Amino acid sequence: MNKPELTQARLCALLHYDPGTGEFRWRAHMGPDLCAGDIAGCRMPAEYWTIHVDGRNYRAHQLAWLYMRGEWGRPLIAHRDGNPLNNRWRNLALADHLNHAASRPRRRGNVSGFKAVSFDRRSGNWTAQINKEGRSYFLGRYPTVQEAHEAYATAARLPPANLPERRHAA
């Protein structure tokens, strides 16, 4: 049986969202374990805060968007600081799939400590690259990890038209 989609009115009747902290709290006693004023939801293995409402699980950042804007954040809601647990209103932004990928933190297992910077064993240098609007741009080889990171940070602030010609590392 299909459950009706959650509305802003229903959400506001059940929960209070604090835009400054990003927390949701229950407005009323919801059962033996859920009292008015309790923080709603829990952290899931996927690293998102999830809240169970009317038989469905929702990610808190989507609920924050519905609460504040009255509509679902489509196609995606990005966390500006890359932390999926930080649901403060100023940290949330509407994004498409490409922008959402750019806001992700550096990958696990990254040895450089910097996003988009890796070590090239053949040359003995650090390389930097960036992806923008579905295209990959090689930013060069650098003797230090800090120089490679600076190249990435500079490129991240530029529009794709100002990036070096699209090429792959040789």
Residue-wise pLDDT for 21-56, tens only, equals 999 999 998 888 889 999 999 998 878 999 999 999
Closest to 72 measured CA to CA, from 83, 59, 55: 59
Could you say which DSSP state residue 148 is in? H
Q: Can the peptide bond before residue 105 be classed as cis, meaning omega within 30 degrees of 0?
A: no
pLDDT in tens, 62-99: 999 999 999 998 878 988 888 889 999 999 998 865 55
CB 97 within 8 A of CB 76: yes
Neighbouring-strand partners of residue 125: 120
Residue pLDDT, tens place only, 90-137: 999 988 655 544 555 555 556 677 888 888 889 999 999 888 777 888
**Among 114, 129, 132, 104, which residue's Cα sits nearest to residue 48?**
104
Q: Considering the entire predicted model, what is its pTM?
A: 0.61
Q: Rounded CA gap, 81 and 86, in Å?
A: 8
- What the chain holds in terms of domains, given with CATH numbers, is 8-100 (3.90.75.20), 107-162 (3.30.730)
